Amino acid sequence: MLGTTSGPRIGITGLGTHVPERVLTNAELSQIVDTTDEWIVERTGIRERRIAADDEALTDIARPAVERALADAGVAAAEIDLLICATVTPDMMFPTSSALLADTLGMPKAAAYDLLAGCTGFVYAIAQAYGMLASGLSKCALVVGGDVLSKILDWDDRSTLVLFGDGAGAVVMKRVERGGFLGFELGADGGGGENLWLPGSGSRRFENPQAHVKMNGREVFKFATRIMVYSAQQILSECGKKVDDVDVYIPHQANKRIIDYATAKLGIPHEKTVVNVDRYGNTSSGSIPLALDDARAENRLQDGSLVLMTGMGAGLTWGSALLEWTGALGGTTRAG
């Protein structure tokens, strides 16, 4: 799917994020599996990640992010009429995490559902919220992107264990006077799905029912480097923008090498690229909102800044959003 937006302007009016308190360093991981800090830093750029506590599930880390986003937007929970939660690690399949969040946060008039699109979930979800808002069906939407991948990793598998971390972000989306989303590009390739999968997590029977993330890292790497560039080029050209017009580039935080490849190939300078994979690892659906929040904390999001976000992940899926930032967001501080 590729298109520019038309009709009313829809933008992000509030942003909040949250990460669990527990920091897990590469040195600690090297006590668990046969790996080293050197290997992890050289191959991925990751130095540490946040890991949820035993009794923490997705909604526990999403709730503070949502509260911050609402406060940032100056919107009461009861005003939210649409809540989409992008995640591959809901508390459970049902009730959905979005329904649980809507209940605990007090959003009685919200339509609420979870959305599953791997690490691209957040980009898919903002595109959906855009559509609902632009059509007038929704007046005030909340999009959550978050994952607790630590709960579905094989803690004996060094090839996946070192890559992921836990975290969540949330945005309030509404009609805005200026700025807003310019377009979206979204895609999926189920044929490549076997390169990043969670066997035993659904209705298909597998011999080993334990659901752990399995990945063919080299294949996902090849896909990622190709698609990050393709998707960004597609959306820029569709919206009539050049690479030089981009003020802030927010790539999915999977691996510093993938980000470096994409920035070099696209010709986006490092100063315009947001990187926090060193501190959080790959937080899946949480990755883009966490990076967006870091960009804001560093004062990189100004009124009118052109923001390019590109995600990719399990499915295989990918997606880009081009957004003209609407200024004057309060800027609450991330805790944890």
Of residues 35, 233, 234, 276, which one binds ligand UT7 by CB under 6 A?
Answer: 35
- Element (H or E) spanning 208, and its range? none
Of 64, 167, 313, 315, the residue at the interface with ligand UT7 (CB under 6 A) is: 313
Which of residues 180 and 311 has its CB atom nearest to ligand UT7 in the complex?
311
What 3 state SS string does 270-329 have? HHHECCCHHHHCECHHHHHHHHHHHHHHCCCCCCCCEEEEEEEECCCEEEEEEEECCCCC
From the list 18, 26, 85, 119, the catalytic residue is 119
For position 221 contacting ligand UT7 by CB under 6 A, the verdict is: yes
Residue 241 or residue 256: which is nearer to ligand UT7 going by CB? 256
| 158, burial (CB in 10 Å: exposed 0-12, middle 13-18, buried 19+) | middle
- x/- string (CB under 6 A) for ligand UT7, residues 89-128? ------------------------------x---------
166 φ, ψ to 5°?
A: -110, 145
Residue of 17, 44, 138, 150 interacting with ligand UT7 (CB under 6 A): 44
Here the tokens at position 86 are 């992008």
Point out which residues pair with 114 in neighbouring strands: 85
Binders in 169-208 for ligand UT7, by CB under 6 A: none
Contact between 58 and ligand UT7 per CB under 6 A: no
Residue 252 known to be catalytic: yes
Helix ranges (H only) for 6-140 are 26-32, 37-44, 58-73, 97-105, 121-134
Nearest approach, Cβ of 138 to ligand UT7 (angstroms)?
A: 29
Residues of span 231-260 touching ligand UT7 by CB under 6 A: 254-255
> Is 282 one of the annotated active-site residues of the chain?
yes
Q: Is 270 marked active-site? A: no
Q: Is 158 in the site for ligand UT7 (CB under 6 A)?
A: yes
301 residue type, one letter: L
Give the nearest distance from C-beta 161 to ligand UT7 in angstroms: 7
DSSP state of 164: B
Estimate to the nearest angstrom the gap between the alpha carbon of 186 and the chain centroid. Answer: 14
Instruction: Quote the tokens at residue 115.
Output: 């959305």
**Residue 204 CB partners (closer than 8 Å, separation 6+):** none
The residues assigned a catalytic role are 119, 252, 282
Interface positions with ligand UT7 (CB under 6 A): 35, 39, 43-44, 119, 158-159, 162, 215, 217-218, 220-221, 224, 254-255, 282, 313
